[in-house]
Chains A and B, each alone.
Chain A
């Protein structure tokens, strides 16, 4: 039986809809409109200047281009490491040894850290002279492996990616473990009867069934890497020499440190379009597909 009763339903969903309509959609539109003006002083309206902010961004702003490159680099390194690592952790947890609940808990603990706490902690880890990583390497007589980490223009974005991997690989493990352990044991048994060893069972039977898990993990990781702000702002400050500046930190710097509101809004709209293309469209396609 389908209940048709419009009025009370609307009262129940009104707060959620009104809040999201205003705070997410109207504000996004407002921000997009702002990006078409030259507004920079609070209390005075900017005047409409068309797409000039975007022309400046893409044609004349070297730092912005650097941000696009750095954000892309972070995404590739971060996701390229996190997904394989999550799969490996999930498989090892699935191999059926005692204490897997304990290990799964340990792998998830980093997710509970705020980016403020992890930036603090990893800032201390990455110090070239006194930091934990280089100190540990020297204690193990591996001093030749020490790295400049966040102080180097070549390694700053890699350092950020390492922290993100530390933080999110437990989440990837969790989703893959749920996916792997829900595979029908009969299918795996059939492969074993056919002579497949453990490695082949996972590679040929279990992993091809993990597309939904990969889709989920990919979306969440993309979402967090496109909007990364706290960690970069506090770990490297975007430096040295903008080598780890990403879209979100540049947007903040332009908007709140330089008071270029309209220009900042144009960067935030680029972020909006990017998240629309790489996250929202895939979600829509996924939803339509699952409904057949």
Chain B
């Protein structure tokens, strides 16, 4: 046996570890109730989408909520992150480094450390159980990472761009909108994908800042599927699959940008 085939055997064996749970999920989600008794491993002998329609019916309101919350929070946090990342990359002011550091370190502080004041605050200002409350929360906690990602992105653009537009008479705002924004599209793509997937998947804020279905995100709805029905595993798996498929597709089709975001956000501190 050649060295090459040995490498492939290892790579495929590792793939099995990553794929098998996903296979189980999809396989179960496509079963009819009475086929569940054949177990999750053997391929289902008839494909049935009823579990999907049932699950979709249970979580459709929350799907809409999640789309609204995630889209707005992604757009706002990307724009604000681009603005602050641009300043931290291209302009110097007194205390810029320490400000940047303190801002970015916010990324490492666990959400539990601020959870109690957050819930009280949202209640006091009337944003508990609203879209805007969740959007604001996701934007605020997105600032460290979006600032860091954009700072690192703009580090790749030459300082001369600022200097020459300055010579042309542009102020900071014009330099940003006329020179940097048009060059920012790849940066926006990376940051927006990063934010979208994280906010879409978020659970704890959704759980603590909502009550009832009016602004509840879909992650909470899927978690609740387990409680509502006794072991309707096909429906539970279908619900999990519905929420996961969009993100998996983003990962597969935009893998390069995902990888860029993961490396850009983590390698440089």
Q: Are A and B interaction partners?
A: yes
B-contacting residues of A (Cβ < 8 Å)?
A: 1-6, 8-10, 12-13, 15-17, 19-20, 22-28, 30-31, 34, 42, 89, 92-93, 95, 97, 99, 103, 105-125, 130-132, 135-136, 139, 166, 170-171, 174-175, 178, 212, 216, 219-220, 223, 226-227, 229-230, 234, 247-248, 251-252, 255-256, 261, 264-265, 267-269, 271-272, 275, 279-280, 283-284, 286-287, 290
> Given the known A-B contacts A105-B255, A178-B263, A271-B113, are A9 and B93 also in contact in the complex, defined by CB atoms under 8 Å?
yes
> Cβ of B190: which chain A residues have Cβ within 8 Å of it?
none
Taking a contact as CB atoms under 8 Å apart, the answer to whether B92 and A4 are in contact is: yes
Q: Measured between C-beta atoms, what is the minimum distance from B61 to chain A in Å?
A: 17
> Given the known A-B contacts A13-B88, A286-B269, are A115 and B172 also in contact in the complex, defined by CB atoms under 8 Å?
no
Question: Taking the complex as formed, is B176 at the interface, i.e. its CB lies under 8 A from any CB of chain A?
Answer: yes
Contact among A17, A34, A220 with B116 in the assembled complex (CB-CB below 8 Å): A34
> Cβ of A135: which chain B residues have Cβ within 8 Å of it?
39-41
Taking a contact as CB atoms under 8 Å apart, the answer to whether A23 and B137 are in contact is: yes
Taking a contact as CB atoms under 8 Å apart, the answer to whether B240 and A120 are in contact is: yes
Taking a contact as CB atoms under 8 Å apart, the answer to whether B15 and A103 are in contact is: yes
B interface, over-half SS: helix
Taking a contact as CB atoms under 8 Å apart, the answer to whether B248 and A16 are in contact is: no
> Cβ of B219: which chain A residues have Cβ within 8 Å of it?
114, 116, 230
> Given the known A-B contacts A23-B140, A105-B252, A264-B116, are A271 and B110 also in contact in the complex, defined by CB atoms under 8 Å?
yes
Taking a contact as CB atoms under 8 Å apart, the answer to whether A212 and B110 are in contact is: no
> Cβ of A132: which chain B residues have Cβ within 8 Å of it?
20-21, 24, 39-41
12 intermolecular pairs with C-beta atoms under 8 Å apart: A9-B172, A16-B80, A16-B143, A23-B137, A103-B14, A107-B15, A116-B201, A174-B262, A219-B108, A234-B226, A268-B112, A284-B101
A-contacting residues of B (Cβ < 8 Å)?
A: 4, 7-8, 10-11, 14-15, 17-22, 24-25, 28, 39-42, 80-81, 83-84, 86-88, 90-94, 99, 101-103, 105-106, 108-118, 120-121, 123, 137, 139-141, 143-144, 147, 159, 162-163, 166, 171-173, 176, 197, 200-204, 208, 219-220, 222-223, 225-226, 233, 236-237, 239-241, 243-244, 247-248, 250-252, 255, 258-259, 262-263, 266-267, 269
> Cβ of A269: which chain B residues have Cβ within 8 Å of it?
113
Kindly list the 8 A-B residue pairs having the minimum CB-CB distance in the complex, ordered from nearest.
A114-B201, A8-B172, A27-B114, A23-B140, A16-B84, A227-B110, A24-B106, A19-B140
- When C-beta atoms are compared, the residue in chain B nearest to A227 turns out to be B110
CA distance A23 to B141 in the complex (A): 7
- When C-beta atoms are compared, the residue in chain A nearest to B86 turns out to be A12
CA distance A125 to B21 in the complex (A): 7
> Given the known A-B contacts A6-B93, A89-B14, A120-B226, are A112 and B244 also in contact in the complex, defined by CB atoms under 8 Å?
yes
- When C-beta atoms are compared, the residue in chain B nearest to A114 turns out to be B201
Taking a contact as CB atoms under 8 Å apart, the answer to whether A248 and B112 are in contact is: yes
Taking a contact as CB atoms under 8 Å apart, the answer to whether A109 and B269 are in contact is: no
Question: Taking each of B80, B113, B200, B226, which has the highest tally of chain A beta carbons within 10 Å of its own beta carbon?
Answer: B113
Taking a contact as CB atoms under 8 Å apart, the answer to whether B11 and A92 are in contact is: yes
CA distance A280 to B101 in the complex (A): 10
> Given the known A-B contacts A12-B83, A272-B110, are A234 and B223 also in contact in the complex, defined by CB atoms under 8 Å?
yes
Question: Taking each of B28, B233, B241, which has the highest tally of chain A beta carbons within 10 Å of its own beta carbon?
Answer: B233
Question: Taking each of B4, B92, B114, B233, which has the highest tally of chain A beta carbons within 10 Å of its own beta carbon?
Answer: B114
Q: Measured between C-beta atoms, what is the minimum distance from B17 to chain A in Å?
A: 7
> Given the known A-B contacts A97-B11, A117-B244, A216-B266, are A108 and B237 also in contact in the complex, defined by CB atoms under 8 Å?
no
Question: Taking each of B101, B105, B162, B239, which has the highest tally of chain A beta carbons within 10 Å of its own beta carbon?
Answer: B105
Contact among A15, A26, A113, A261 with B83 in the assembled complex (CB-CB below 8 Å): A15
> Cβ of A117: which chain B residues have Cβ within 8 Å of it?
25, 201, 222, 240-241, 243-244
- When C-beta atoms are compared, the residue in chain B nearest to A19 turns out to be B140
- When C-beta atoms are compared, the residue in chain A nearest to B201 turns out to be A114
Taking a contact as CB atoms under 8 Å apart, the answer to whether B258 and A108 are in contact is: yes
CA distance A166 to B39 in the complex (A): 22
Taking a contact as CB atoms under 8 Å apart, the answer to whether A103 and B263 are in contact is: no
Contact among B18, B110, B115 with A109 in the assembled complex (CB-CB below 8 Å): B18
Taking a contact as CB atoms under 8 Å apart, the answer to whether B22 and A265 are in contact is: no
> Cβ of A121: which chain B residues have Cβ within 8 Å of it?
21-22, 24-25, 237, 240
Taking a contact as CB atoms under 8 Å apart, the answer to whether B269 and A287 are in contact is: yes
- When C-beta atoms are compared, the residue in chain B nearest to A255 turns out to be B116
Taking a contact as CB atoms under 8 Å apart, the answer to whether B105 and A280 are in contact is: yes
- When C-beta atoms are compared, the residue in chain A nearest to B19 turns out to be A106
Q: Measured between C-beta atoms, what is the minimum distance from B163 to chain A in Å?
A: 5
CA distance A190 to B110 in the complex (A): 45
> Cβ of B40: which chain A residues have Cβ within 8 Å of it?
124-125, 130-132, 135
> Given the known A-B contacts A105-B252, A116-B201, A124-B24, are A17 and B99 also in contact in the complex, defined by CB atoms under 8 Å?
yes
Taking a contact as CB atoms under 8 Å apart, the answer to whether A93 and B110 are in contact is: no
Question: Taking each of A110, A119, A121, A136, which has the highest tally of chain B beta carbons within 10 Å of its own beta carbon?
Answer: A121
> Cβ of B87: which chain A residues have Cβ within 8 Å of it?
9, 12-13
